[in-house]
Amino acid sequence: MKRVIGIGNALTDMLVNLRTDNVLTRYQLAKGSMSLVDTRLQTEISKSVAGLPYSLSLGGSAGNTIRAMARLGASVGFIGKVGTDKTGDFFVQALENLRIEPVVFRGKERSGKCVSLVSADGERTMVTYLGAALELGAAELRPEIFDGYDCLYVEGYLVQNHELIRTAARMAKERGLQVAIDLASFNVVAENVGFLRELVRDWVDIVFANEEEAKAFTGEEEPINALQAISELTSLAVVKIGTRGALIKRGEEVVHVGIMAAAKRVDTTGAGDFYAAGFLYGLCEGLTLRQCGTIGAITAGKVIEVVGTTFGEEAWEEIGRYVTKVKTEKYLF
């Protein structure tokens, strides 16, 4: 594996730093929640916080993973759909700035956006409009999209469109790619468990899941038993078990990798996405499972130290130093 292309909901994250929580009260938003809303309500909320400090960045689960892989130095691409608006232009330009090959379609709806209202205590309340991201359909995919890549990374949140995921996985496999999927969320898994089990059995080579997702997928209470059950359907299984690290199984090899102790746990949003990024980057570099798991733990450990999923050059340079040590086996968990 050398080159990875991701497919997911193309979202732009807008982080707004609140002075007070009045806007949450006004719109009856539970602090720390994530609400799916229409464009009218999202626009109204955005206007109500106009003038406050904000930042824009690439978002979405697969978008986070592919962006982090690009920062690690991997050769990557991204498949998604945005609107014909400035937000869509920003999304495509941001991909290109990171040297991510964009396979981005344009839809009729406005571009998907996640407005994150960040309270003074660091808590994030998210108001998400999926918009054009939901318009991406199986009919738009072409087999040649996957040429030159070795792995397709699928965002589990795309499961609302079974035909899209199945078609993408089938085309990728027919082009000789491996297929990896992150199961995204335990409630998403529970609602689509039959489809997901069939998908993994027929098309998927690598599965990422946290403890609750693995339980929903397999019905097994114990992570080690869930790991075994997943491994019977696919080649490589990764079950993340929170502060206890992750369990990894490929063939007869089973590895337990610990976590990187974060200096401070500010926001766990994106931790799973960044773990997958570090792990897949390790696979692209031909590293061992323990090395892959360690890099995953490093990237996940760094992203939870900040609000959102974007951090500065200094943090990426620090990650780079850790990764160099991992490659020489001087730093392993």
In this structure, is residue 68 part of a structural domain?
yes
Query: Which residue range forms the structural domain that includes residue 269?
Result: 3-10+59-110+130-327
Q: What is the per-residue pLDDT across 129-154, written as a single tens digit (0 to 9) for each? A: 999 999 999 999 999 999 999 999 99
Residue 153 lies in a domain: yes
What pLDDT digit, counting tens, does each position of 14-35 carry? 989 899 999 999 999 998 887 8
Residue 263's pLDDT band (cuts 50, 70, 90)? low
Q: What are phi and psi of 34, to 5 degrees?
A: -125, 120
Would residue 145 count as lying in a domain?
A: yes
Over residues 56-78, the mean pLDDT reads: 95
Contact 234, 200 (CB under 8 A): yes
User: Does residue 35 belong to any structural domain of this protein?
Assistant: no
- Per-residue pLDDT of 219-251, as tens digits, reads 999 999 999 999 999 999 999 999 899 999 999
User: Which two structure tokens, joined as six digits, stand for 1?
Assistant: 């594996």
Task: For residue range 310-321, list pLDDT tens digits in order.
Answer: 888 999 999 999
Tell me which amino acid residue 121 is: D
| Cα–Cα dist 119/121, whole Å | 5
258 located within any domain: yes
Matching residue, tokens 């839809």: 107
| Tokens matching residue 180 | 């990896």
Q: Which residues are within 8 A (CB) of 60 and not within 5 positions of it... i.e. 6 or more apart?
A: 8, 9, 10, 11, 80, 112, 133, 155, 157
The predicted pLDDT at position 167 comes to: 98
Is pLDDT of 266 > 70? no
The four Cα atoms 10, 213, 258, 315 give a dihedral, to 10 degrees, of 20
**Beta strand segments in 108-233, E:** 112-118, 124-129, 151-155, 178-182, 206-210
| Domain count for the chain | 1
Position 140 in a domain: yes
- Between 263 and 98, name the one with better pLDDT: 98
Q: What's the confidence (pLDDT) of residue 36?
A: 87
| Residue 34, in any domain of the structure | no
Residue 267 has pLDDT above 70, yes or no: no
Measured in degrees and rounded to the nearest 5, phi and psi for residue 216 equal: -65, -35
For residue 303, what pLDDT is reported? Answer: 87
Mean per-residue pLDDT of the chain = 94
**Cβ(243)–Cβ(229) below 8 Å:** no
Question: What is the pLDDT at residue 34?
Answer: 79
Contacts 24+ apart (CB under 8 A), 32-40: 32/123, 32/124, 32/125, 33/125, 33/126, 34/125, 34/126, 34/128, 35/126, 35/127, 35/128, 36/128, 36/129, 36/130, 37/127, 37/128, 37/129, 38/129, 39/109, 39/110, 39/129, 39/131
Q: State residue 21's pLDDT score.
A: 95
Instruction: Render pLDDT for 74-127 as a digit per residue (tens, 0 to 9).
Output: 999 999 999 999 999 999 999 999 999 999 999 999 999 999 898 888 788 889
Q: What percent of the chain has pLDDT over 70?
A: 98
Q: What is the CA radius of gyration of the chain?
A: 19
What whole-number percentage of the chain has pLDDT above 90? 81
Q: 44: how many CB neighbours lie within 10 A of its CB?
A: 12
Pairing of β 206-210 and β 236-240: parallel
Q: Is residue 291 part of a domain?
A: yes
Q: Is the pLDDT of residue 168 over 70?
A: yes
d(CA 333, CA 331): 7
- The CATH number of residue 253's host domain is 3.40.1190.20
Task: Compare 112 and 260 and report the one with higher pLDDT.
Answer: 112
Residue pLDDT, tens place only, 199-218: 999 999 999 999 999 999 99
Residue ranges of the alpha helices (H) in 56-185?
61-72, 86-97, 162-174
Beta-strand relationship, 101-107 and 236-240: unpaired
Each residue of 180-189: pLDDT tens digit?
A: 999 988 888 9
Above 90 in pLDDT, residue 8?
yes
